[in-house]
Amino acid sequence: MALRLMMKPPLSSSKGLLFFYLVVLFSCNQSINAQTNQTNSTTVPSEDKRGVIPEEILELPYLDFLKIDKNFFSGPLPAFIGNLSRLGLLSIAQNNFSGPIPKEIGNLKKLYLLSLGNNDLSGTLPPELGNLVELGELYINSCGLSGEIPSSFANLKEMRIVRIGDIYNGSSSSLDFVRNLKNLTDLVLRNVLLTGNFPSYIMELQSLQKLDLSFNNLTGQIPSTLFNMNSLIYLFLGNNSLSGSIPSQKSETLQTIDLSYNFLSGNLPSWVNSRLQLNFVANNFTLNSSNIR
Ligand SMILES: *[C@@H]1O[C@H](CO)[C@@H](O)[C@H](O)[C@H]1NC(C)=O
Ligand SMILES: *[C@@H]1O[C@H](CO)[C@@H](O)[C@H](O)[C@H]1NC(C)=O
Ligand SMILES: *[C@@H]1O[C@H](CO)[C@@H](O)[C@H](O)[C@H]1NC(C)=O
Ligand SMILES: *[C@@H]1O[C@H](CO)[C@@H](O)[C@H](O)[C@H]1NC(C)=O
Ligand SMILES: *[C@@H]1O[C@H](CO)[C@@H](O)[C@H](O)[C@H]1NC(C)=O
Ligand SMILES: *[C@@H]1O[C@H](CO)[C@@H](O)[C@H](O)[C@H]1NC(C)=O
Ligand SMILES: *[C@@H]1O[C@H](CO)[C@@H](O)[C@H](O)[C@H]1NC(C)=O
Ligand SMILES: *[C@@H]1O[C@H](CO)[C@@H](O)[C@H](O)[C@H]1NC(C)=O
Ligand SMILES: *[C@@H]1O[C@H](CO)[C@@H](O)[C@H](O)[C@H]1NC(C)=O
Ligand SMILES: *[C@@H]1O[C@H](CO)[C@@H](O)[C@H](O)[C@H]1NC(C)=O
């Protein structure tokens, strides 16, 4: 994909620099849409790009879309990103950004998509991200973060897709914020230090299609109602500390189930068959001649 950039020549020297940077940014297989009042456009072939986010980007007050993922951008995420007040989409995943997530990102009240995954960040998730009340999709995996998922995420009521993964060293995170996010279709919280019993309010998320809580330390039994949700298709609960038996009934919708590496026991339920995608390894099931198939 090429970058289309609206710019009117002649360019002043600072605009020229900005133009250069934007060409650099846009030429990464990625795109910047600057909804300016300008009339010209430029197309640049794709290439892998390096560098930092230039402050000159603030000269594009109508910028509503910044997508520079899958490059080699580095340096800290600048606080001035929080001044791009029209941004609806910010995607910087799969670069080499370092340092903390600036709390100023919480000023971007129009963001509907935020993607930060696969960078070399540090620090914790700022509670200010809970101010992004229009956010529908959030992707923060493999960023080098630590600490808890802030409880302010309970404000993100428009959220449909949440993917957070690989948070280390913190005290344990709570799932309570999920209670408010009634529109969730995808909830992926992998390896984020979740503890405690499997929460019953997950079953109240009536649009949920994919639930992945793998690589945490959830304890207690799997609620039978989880397997009877109308919408749920994919369920991944591998590498937790769940015990008890597998629910004996399952909705038709639920087709992919990973319960590997837990402490589940008992007999395999009668709905188990080869048309389903199942992974039950490394548990403590009782196998007998009628349920080995
Ligand atoms: C650019 O467009 C915006 C909104 O469409 C308008 O408010 C602003 O006055 C325009 N600026 C110029 C320099 O034409
Ligand atoms: C864009 O700018 C170039 C260089 O000034 C000019 O040749 C071209 O005609 C312009 N295109 C449009 C669509 O305005
Ligand atoms: C960003 O906005 C804040 C508050 O309006 C302002 O104080 C600051 O100078 C702005 N930063 C830049 C780099 O323009
Ligand atoms: C990423 O940044 C680190 C320093 O923060 C540097 O050592 C490394 O070479 C960078 N990697 C790439 C692919 O740019
Ligand atoms: C977690 O702690 C270990 C040991 O103190 C440290 O090496 C590692 O960098 C920390 N990771 C994060 C993401 O803070
Ligand atoms: C959820 O989705 C519905 C239907 O798309 C929409 O009407 C509603 O405003 C959304 N938000 C919340 C918080 O329910
Ligand atoms: C998981 O939680 C249980 C009960 O709180 C605890 O005994 C166990 O050590 C934890 N396991 C891990 C890997 O943290
Ligand atoms: C899952 O848990 C098992 C048993 O504790 C462990 O051997 C395995 O390495 C874990 N898998 C991953 C990918 O961490
Ligand atoms: C063997 O498995 C079936 C089906 O899971 C179960 O109904 C039966 O009780 C099991 N028999 C024994 C001896 O555990
Ligand atoms: C596995 O089940 C057997 C028989 O019920 C029990 O004695 C054993 O403690 C269980 N092991 C684990 C790791 O739960």
Q: Is 241 in the pocket of ligand 7 (CB under 6 A)?
A: yes
Looking at ligand 9, which atom is closest to the CA of residue 286? 14
Nearest 5°: CA angle at 238, between 233 and 240? 130
pLDDT at 122: 94
Q: How far apart are CA 230 and CA 99, in angstroms?
A: 42
Sequence-ordered list of residues with C-beta below 8 angstroms from that of 72, at least 6 positions apart, any chain: 48, 49, 50, 95, 96
Band the pLDDT of 290: cuts 50, 70, 90.
low
pLDDT at 291: 53
Q: Is 9 in the pocket of ligand 2 (CB under 6 A)?
A: yes
Strand partners, 168: 146
pLDDT at 193: 93
Contact predicate 252/230, CB 8 Å: no
Query: Ligand 7 center to residue 100 CA distance, Å?
Result: 29
Of the candidates 115, 119, 33, 141, the residue with the CA atom closest to the CA atom of residue 71: 119
Structure tokens at 158: 């428009």
pLDDT at 71: 76
Nearest CA to ligand 4 atom 3: 96
Report which bound ligand comes closest to the CA of 272. 9
CA-to-CA dists, residue 4 to 22, 30, 61, 115, angstroms = 10, 10, 17, 22
28 backbone φψ class: left, alpha, beta (φ>0; ψ -120 to 50): alpha
Per-residue model confidence as pLDDT tens digits over 250-270? 999 999 999 999 999 998 999
**Higher pLDDT pick, 207 / 4:** 207
180 pLDDT above the threshold of 90 = yes
Of the candidates 174, 223, 168, the residue with the CA atom closest to the CA atom of residue 195: 174
Residues touching ligand 8 (Cβ under 6 Å) are 239, 261
Sheet-wide strand order for 263-267 = 195-197, 217-221, 241-244, 263-267, 284-286
Q: Is 74 in the pocket of ligand 4 (CB under 6 A)?
A: yes
Per-residue model confidence as pLDDT tens digits over 143-153? 889 999 999 99
Q: Whole-model pTM?
A: 0.80
pLDDT at 288: 66
Per-domain boundaries in the chain: 5-238
Structure tokens at 64: 């509503």
Q: 5-238 domain in CATH 3.80.10.10?
A: yes
Runs of H (alpha helix) within the chain? 13-26
Q: Is 56 in the pocket of ligand 3 (CB under 6 A)?
A: no
To test the pocket of ligand 4, the residue of 28, 92, 96, 118 to mutate (highest count of ligand atoms within 8 Å of its CB) is: 96
Strand partners, 279: 258
Per-residue model confidence as pLDDT tens digits over 182-226? 999 999 999 999 999 999 899 999 999 999 999 999 999 999 999
Average pLDDT of the chain to the nearest whole number: 83
Contact predicate 271/253, CB 8 Å: no
Query: Ligand 3 center to residue 107 CA distance, Å?
Result: 11
Nearest CA to ligand 10 atom 3: 284
Looking at ligand 4, which atom is closest to the CA of residue 98? 5
Structure tokens at 11: 């360019």
CA-to-CA dists, residue 277 to 41, 254, 267, angstroms = 48, 10, 18
pLDDT at 46: 35
User: What mean pLDDT do residues 68-92 have?
Assistant: 88
